[in-house]
């Protein structure tokens, strides 16, 4: 079955997001920064934002556990946009080329709800998508199959084989594969361009 819809992940596929970018400004050494991100504000902790917890609500118990890091923990939400450096090189151009060919474009992202409306203003490319499934708004996160079914419903229930899903996480790709999506494990825009060409989309 031919691919006719493209479904993008956002972080590290469309948006250049890295918490270390912010915490490099806060800590004096990379070692201190990396220890903090490995032991305090971890990705497992951040996933609760993606699942719907607010920045403030998620910070409170972590601050109780690490009171000497209160300002550092609060910075995750208060200075969220300092984790970004624009777009991933080459991806906006591919989105523009797909849009020019009227390929239906959607996004499915593990993303906190708190900053989403402001993100739409900071990153105008996000407005190109016909719908963006933001995990924090619906309380489901990849790789839970439920969020993929939710995304299919937002795309008017195509056959999954008609959808090319693009993500940088292998776990998320494997979950989509199991549901019958066509997939691309993102590394660079050049690699994605080759896949889009092979599918006849650009």
169 and 111 in a common domain? yes
Task: Provide the whole-model pTM.
Answer: 0.96
pLDDT in tens, the chain (202 residues): 899 999 999 999 999 999 999 999 999 999 999 999 999 999 999 999 999 999 999 999 999 999 999 999 999 999 999 999 999 999 999 999 999 999 999 999 999 999 999 999 999 999 999 999 999 999 999 999 999 999 999 999 999 999 999 999 999 999 999 999 999 999 999 999 999 999 999 9
**CB contact at 8 A, 13 and 186:** yes
Tokens read off for 202: 């650009």
78 and 108 in a common domain? no
Nearest to 45 by CA among 34, 33, 60: 60
193 and 127 in a common domain? yes
48 and 61 in a common domain? yes
91 and 128 in a common domain? yes
Q: How many domains does the chain have?
A: 2
**Cα(59)–Cα(30) distance, rounded to whole angstroms?**
23
Domain assignment of residue 67, given as a range: 18-83
């Amino acid at each position: 079955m031919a691919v006719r819809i493209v479904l993008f992940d956002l972080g590290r596929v469309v948006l250049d997001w890295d918490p270390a970018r912010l915490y490099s400004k806060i800590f004096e050494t990379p070692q201190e920064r990396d220890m903090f991100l490995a032991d305090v504000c971890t990705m497992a902790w951040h996933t609760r934002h993606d699942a719907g917890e607010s920045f403030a609500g998620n910070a409170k118990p972590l601050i109780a556990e690490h009171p000497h890091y209160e300002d550092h923990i609060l910075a995750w939400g208060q200075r969220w946009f300092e984790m970004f450096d624009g777009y991933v090189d080459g991806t906006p151009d591919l989105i523009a080329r797909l849009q020019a060919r009227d390929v239906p474009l959607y996004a499915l992202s593990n993303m906190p709800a708190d900053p989403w409306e402001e993100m739409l203003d900071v990153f105008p490319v996000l407005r190109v998508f016909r719908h963006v499934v933001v995990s924090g708004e619906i309380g489901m996160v990849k790789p839970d199959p439920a969020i993929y079914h939710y995304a299919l419903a937002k795309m008017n229930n195509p056959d999954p084989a008609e959808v090319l899903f693009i993500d940088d996480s292998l776990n998320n790709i494997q979950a989509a594969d199991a549901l019958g999506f066509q997939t691309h494990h993102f590394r660079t825009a050049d690699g994605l361009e080759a896949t889009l060409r092979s599918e006849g989309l650009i």
